[in-house]
Amino acid sequence: MEIAYSLSIALQSHQQLITAIIITLLSLLAVRSFFKRPHHKSNVTGTATSSAKKQARETRPSSSCNHTSNSAALLNGGAAGPAEEDMVMADVSKVVAEMQSGASMMEQLVPEITTHALSYLDYPSLCRLSMTNSLMRKAANDDNAWKALYHKDFTLEQDTVTPVHGWKAYYAATRAIMNVNTDFFNIIKDGSLSSMSRFWLNADYVKCIHASGILFSGYNAVIQSWQHAFNWEQGVDFQVRDVRARVLTNMAWVTMKTYVDMDNGAFNMTNIFEFHHGRWYLVEHHSSEMLADGDIGQQIVH
């Protein structure tokens, strides 16, 4: 344990190096499993492998780490989970079967050290690593690694939260809702009423409070308010900062600051989403009021 402790100290002070080593090992493993045919073996360490690496990057992670579409199901422990797990398992066993024998240096590390080292990897690297072999898959699925990644990529808040289905699922769910929230601002930028109409839940209880301070209630009134906004002001390109998301099983809310230009004050916004029929819908949008003394407040209704 003492060795493990001093190793972990060493790892802490050399995180750049460690990250580089892990990524290198990972690339070698990925390439090695790709070039399983003997006559390619001499190429493994050569430079001609970059296209293979690229191919590996493109084909592998999609099955293991892209939880975007079924994040709520994952949080639910729902139907999409087990099927995907099976797919990952099949994929992993295939890769393992393809691999030549011989344990890598990574595999000989103490589990605690591996976990610690993995906490320095980013999301795509962790995904790719989990596809190299069963041992790495186990390590890369370690909840502490995903918790560390969550805090690094999203927020240091929610430290006391214990996600029901673990940090990996929570990370994926958070990433998914962040992407949906980004779509909202893309729709505003495009001024697309049809996309905005699909973005909202068609229900009588949805609410929208624009920067004018006016409340619109019910789907039709809300969509009309956006039609009015888009007619009046084409394509506002908000800069979005300090995005924070909290995701529960079928509900998520996102808070953020948005700027039309960085010299003017921020609009403080909240978006609330509900999960229905396999996707997230906006059910409430609330912008802080921009007071009329700034000219921005006169122009912008959303």
Ligand X SMILES: *[C@@H]1O[C@H](CO)[C@@H](O)[C@H](O)[C@H]1NC(C)=O
Residue numbers of the site for ligand X (CB under 6 A)? 66, 68-69, 265-268, 288, 290
CA distance 214 to 223: 14
Q: Which is nearer to ligand X, 218 or 265 (CB)?
A: 265
Q: Which is nearer to ligand X, 11 or 254 (CB)?
A: 254
CA distance 260 to 258: 7
Distance of CA 224 to the CA centre of its chain: 32
CA distance 43 to 35: 8
Q: Which is nearer to ligand X, 35 or 273 (CB)?
A: 273
Q: How far is the CB of 69 from ligand X (least distance, A)?
A: 4
Q: How far is the CB of 203 from ligand X (least distance, A)?
A: 25
Give the E-state strand segments of the chain in sequence order.
207-209, 215-217, 239-247, 251-259, 267-276, 279-287
Q: Which residues of 103-116 are buried (b: 16+ CB within 10 A; e: fewer)?
A: ebebbebeeebbbb
Q: How far is the CB of 53 from ligand X (least distance, A)?
A: 17
Q: Which is nearer to ligand X, 66 or 192 (CB)?
A: 66
Q: How far is the CB of 265 from ligand X (least distance, A)?
A: 5
Q: Which is nearer to ligand X, 135 or 296 (CB)?
A: 296
Give the residue among 176, 193, 201, 154 at the shortest CA–CA distance from 71: 176
CB 18 within 8 A of CB 120: yes
Q: How far is the CB of 210 from ligand X (least distance, A)?
A: 12
